[in-house]
Amino acid sequence: MKKFISIIIVFSFFSTSNAQEDNYDINGFSVGIVPSALLNVWTGFQGEINYGFADHFEVSINAGFLYGKRRNNSYDGYRIRPSLKYYFLNDLENFRFYLEAGYMYRVTNEKFLASYNMFQGAFRQELINNRKREIEGLFAMFGSRSTVKDTRVYIDYGIGIGFGSITVVNGQIDNAEPINDFNFFGNNDDGTLPFPIFILHLAVGYDF
Reference 24, options 194, 161, 199, 148; nearest CA is 148
What gap in Å lies between CA 69 and CA 182, rounded to an integer? 9
**pLDDT at position 98:** 95
Return the SS3 of 25.
coil
The domain limits of the chain are: 2-107+136-167+196-207
**pLDDT at position 23:** 55
What gap in Å lies between CA 69 and CA 111, rounded to an integer? 9
25-34 per-residue burial string, b: 16 or more CB within 10 A, e: under 16 = ebeeebebeb
- Contact in structure between 94 and 154 (CB atoms under 8 Å): no
**pLDDT at position 18:** 41
| Reported CATH class of domain 2-107+136-167+196-207 | mainly beta
Q: List per-residue pLDDT tens for the chain, 208 residues long.
A: 555 445 444 444 444 444 444 457 888 999 999 999 998 888 899 999 999 998 889 999 999 999 888 777 788 999 999 999 999 877 677 888 999 999 999 999 988 777 666 656 556 667 777 889 899 999 999 999 988 888 889 999 999 999 999 998 887 766 666 665 666 666 777 889 999 999 999 999 999 8
**pLDDT at position 71:** 72
| Predicted model pTM | 0.78
What separation in angstroms does the CA of 37 have from each of 4, 18, 40, 41, 108? 26, 36, 5, 9, 14
**pLDDT at position 175:** 62
Question: Which segments of 21-152 are extended strands (E)?
Answer: 28-33, 44-53, 57-70, 73-87, 95-118, 123-147
**pLDDT at position 29:** 95
